[in-house]
Structure 1
Amino acid sequence: MLLSGAAQAELQALDDQELSAVQGAGFGFVLDGILLDASGATITVNDINNASGQNVPISVKEFYLGATGSNKGANLNPVNIGRLDHPFEITLAKGETLRTLRDDGQWVQTTPSNVSVLEFKFPERLTGAGGQACISGYAAAGSNCSSRASERVDLGIRFDFQVAAGRTDIINLDFSELVMDGSYLRLWGDDPRGQLVGEARVNLFAKSLQLMSCAAGTANCTSAQEQTARTLTLSNAFANISLGYGKSQPLLFDVSSNGQFVLELPNPVTRAANGSARPAAERNTIASDFYANAPRTNIVIDNLKAGTGSFSTGGYNFGYNAIQGLSINYLKVTSRDL
């Protein structure tokens, strides 16, 4: 949302006729001149205990976000994310008006009709002319992103885990030229189930992603060779992760009786939302729609490299790796006490 310093305006009352013309379509916004640098700061999560009752703290360090070319956060500059004709959006809409872009370029309705859906979405992916390369120099990722090269970000974060006394395990993540066009989260209430449900699409496009198992400058992680030896590098990597197909397989959010969080994708065919078995004809119709229209999950890594040097010294290049067209028929994820 951009405001002009020269603009002057005041709020004015609307009568009933004027209010009836308001569609309640939601609002859009852009992030202008964003830079986050938490180097030197630490956020610690406590009160996570192991089986012996000992605290297992998790520290978040070295979080940054800025323009591309930051050299893993060493040279941060502000970045604009989104623009007025391709903003982030928060909307409240009927399920029958929402659409999802399939891998074949077709827009399909995935949410059920006659429900009000709250949607938060990133700048969209496009069809036709005017799109940008989702990953620069890598055509396989597509050219239908709306974000331009200047609207990509470098993002990094480090987690320190003290699982065992006297030892700290580290995961250090650095994204280069990251964009998430076409991602969204949709939420609505399901009356037969009596709970909050939804669906999500998480799109990640990155020129590179590096996972390092040590902190730069610490013991055995000082030289470039030592750091590279403990790094997993993904180049030209992208993921289109689909969680839920609202019409017949919504993503269920729940909390168990002992306080554990539960995410579930129920089988879309066998039973209705109220638990009753579906007739054969209804199962066939739902199955045909699900397998024809439900968005699939794709994970593609153009080049995957672990460590440095030859295979005998610990480094290895795994080359191209891909999971494409994955359909989830049933999934249940629950948290557990350590």
Structure 2
Amino acid sequence: MSYQWRSIFPSIIQNAAFIALGAIALPVHSELAALSDNDLSEVDGAGIGFVMEDFAFSHGNDSSQGNVFRITGITDSDGNPVNINVNQMYIARAGSEYGDVIEGVNLGRLDNPYEIDLLDGNDIGLPGKGVLEIAAPRMVDSTLGYDCLDPSAAQGSGTCASRPASVDFEAGERPDIGFELEVNVAGQAQTHLNMHAHSAVFDGSYLRLWGEDSRMAAEYRLNFYTPALEISTCAVASSACTSKIKMSDFKLELALGNTFQPLYIGVDNTTGGFSFQIDQMTTNYLANIDPVSGASDGSAQGDIAYAFYE
């Protein structure tokens, strides 16, 4: 008998937690659930896929209750310490009312999970490289998928695999996400920054990492779709906040780096901070492109540059 892990997270995490670059350390209770023959037929043995059912995350900063969620170690341009209290951060089922109602949501499913995989660089334009990929559920054919923005979309309306909540599928696969930040700088008044996204979708997003010339190189794609995105600076973020920016049918498709012109990730030797850099295209490669027709001159460099522009 084969099994899948099904995780049940407490609706409120009691201990301090810090989330950075997607790394999460939380107490977890798990149970084993049997896989059906149909489930097993979808398994190909490549990489690691994971699905979270009835997932809910909620945490905030409330020292009176022993909950502390604070980011420190940051300074402003004058050297003053900057402390950021995360008054609230949540991932929950659509309809969470700014994180006040925390119910579980499904993230991914067995035939289209979140994945961690090692790719053959020869297949993606990086000869001789091993590439680590961390990916959200893949886009699908429009006859099988759902509209990425419509929270009540029906199957066959778009290319997103994540299903919206419905009468028959209350949990859905599109979470409400949000945070409320309180920023404190010495000698200055508190400032706030809040963001809430309803029925969010990240399908088609991925991060690929590989080594190049003693540096870490990356290709990053972020797809973010939500029918309602709110940003405000109210002291308390809720429906009562009247000073806010509200964007409907928000769509972000961000691409940073690629196999020909990577995003390089490193550490600044002077400040110790992270550095992110995308180099200019190599002019020698551009010299192998006909300036009139845009065609390659037949050289390896020309073929690479032509493939990039295509």
Within 5 Å, give how 1:10-21 maps onto structure 2.
none
In structure 2, what is the equivalent of residue 59 of structure 1? 85
2:272 paired with 1:257: no
Aligned equivalents of 1:147 and 1:137: distance in 2? 11
In structure 2, what is the equivalent of residue 153 of structure 1? 175
In structure 1, what is the equivalent of residue 76 of structure 2? 50
Asked if the contact 1:268/1:286 (under 8 Å) is kept, the reply is: no
| Residue deviations 1:11-41 (CA, integer Å, cap 9, x gap) | xxxxxxxxxxxx9721101011111111444
2:106 paired with 1:80: yes
- CA shift, 1:47, in A, is 2.7
Aligned equivalents of 2:247 and 2:200: distance in 1? 13
Determine which of 136, 150, 159 is the counterpart of 1:136: 150
- Distance change >3 Å, CA 166–CA 244, structure 1 → 2: closer
Aligned equivalents of 2:239 and 2:147: distance in 1? 35
Aligned equivalents of 1:278 and 1:25: distance in 2? 40
The aligned length equals 249
> Can you give the 5+ residue segments of structure 2 that lack an aligned partner in the other structure?
7-30, 35-43, 165-171, 290-296
- CA shift, 1:116, in A, is 0.7
Aligned equivalents of 2:87 and 2:307: distance in 1? 45
Within 5 Å, give how 1:261-276 maps onto structure 2.
261-270=274-283
Identity over aligned residues, as a percent?
A: 31
Tell me the SS of whatever aligns to 2:49: strand
Asked if the contact 1:133/1:143 (under 8 Å) is kept, the reply is: yes
Q: Which amino acid aligns with 1:171?
A: L
Q: Which amino acid aligns with 1:82?
A: G
Asked if the contact 1:269/1:278 (under 8 Å) is kept, the reply is: no
Aligned equivalents of 1:211 and 1:223: distance in 2? 12
- Distance change >3 Å, CA 137–CA 172, structure 1 → 2: closer
Aligned equivalents of 1:239 and 1:5: distance in 2? 36
In structure 2, what is the equivalent of residue 322 of structure 1? none
TM-score, normalised by the number of residues in structure 2: 0.72
TM-score, normalised by the number of residues in structure 1: 0.67
Aligned equivalents of 2:191 and 2:249: distance in 1? 27
Q: Which amino acid aligns with 1:262?
A: S
| Residue deviations 1:134-186 (CA, integer Å, cap 9, x gap) | 111699xx710111001000011011112352411100111100010010000
In structure 2, what is the equivalent of residue 121 of structure 1? 135
CA-atom RMSD in angstroms: 2.7
- Distance change >3 Å, CA 24–CA 163, structure 1 → 2: same
- CA shift, 1:196, in A, is 1.2
Aligned equivalents of 1:279 and 1:172: distance in 2? 49
Aligned equivalents of 1:223 and 1:74: distance in 2? 11
Tell me the SS of whatever aligns to 1:285: helix
In structure 2, what is the equivalent of residue 29 of structure 1? 50
- CA shift, 1:93, in A, is 1.7
- Distance change >3 Å, CA 128–CA 209, structure 1 → 2: closer
| Residue deviations 1:175-214 (CA, integer Å, cap 9, x gap) | 1000100100001111xx2211110110001111101101
Asked if the contact 1:269/1:286 (under 8 Å) is kept, the reply is: no
Within 5 Å, give how 1:187-336 maps onto structure 2.
187-190=209-212, 193-216=213-236, 224=240, 227-228=241-242, 230-246=243-259, 248-258=260-270, 259-270=272-283, 281=297, 284-292=302-310
Asked if the contact 1:125/1:181 (under 8 Å) is kept, the reply is: yes
Aligned equivalents of 1:179 and 1:232: distance in 2? 20
Consecutive aligned runs of 4 or more in structure 1 exceeding 3 Å deviation: 1-7, 39-42, 50-53, 277-287
Aligned equivalents of 1:73 and 1:243: distance in 2? 31
Aligned equivalents of 2:78 and 2:222: distance in 1? 37
Asked if the contact 1:138/1:236 (under 8 Å) is kept, the reply is: no
- Distance change >3 Å, CA 115–CA 34, structure 1 → 2: same
- Distance change >3 Å, CA 289–CA 131, structure 1 → 2: same
| Residue deviations 1:217-243 (CA, integer Å, cap 9, x gap) | 8xxxx993xx22x20111100111111
Aligned equivalents of 1:51 and 1:27: distance in 2? 43
Asked if the contact 2:151/2:199 (under 8 Å) is kept, the reply is: no
> Can you give the 5+ residue segments of structure 1 that lack an aligned partner in the other structure?
8-22, 98-108, 293-338
Aligned equivalents of 1:264 and 1:211: distance in 2? 28
| Residue deviations 1:277-334 (CA, integer Å, cap 9, x gap) | 9766456434322221xxxxxxxxxxxxxxxxxxxxxxxxxxxxxxxxxxxxxxxxxx
Q: Which amino acid aligns with 1:203?
A: N
Q: Which amino acid aligns with 2:282?
A: V
Aligned equivalents of 1:6 and 1:67: distance in 2? 22
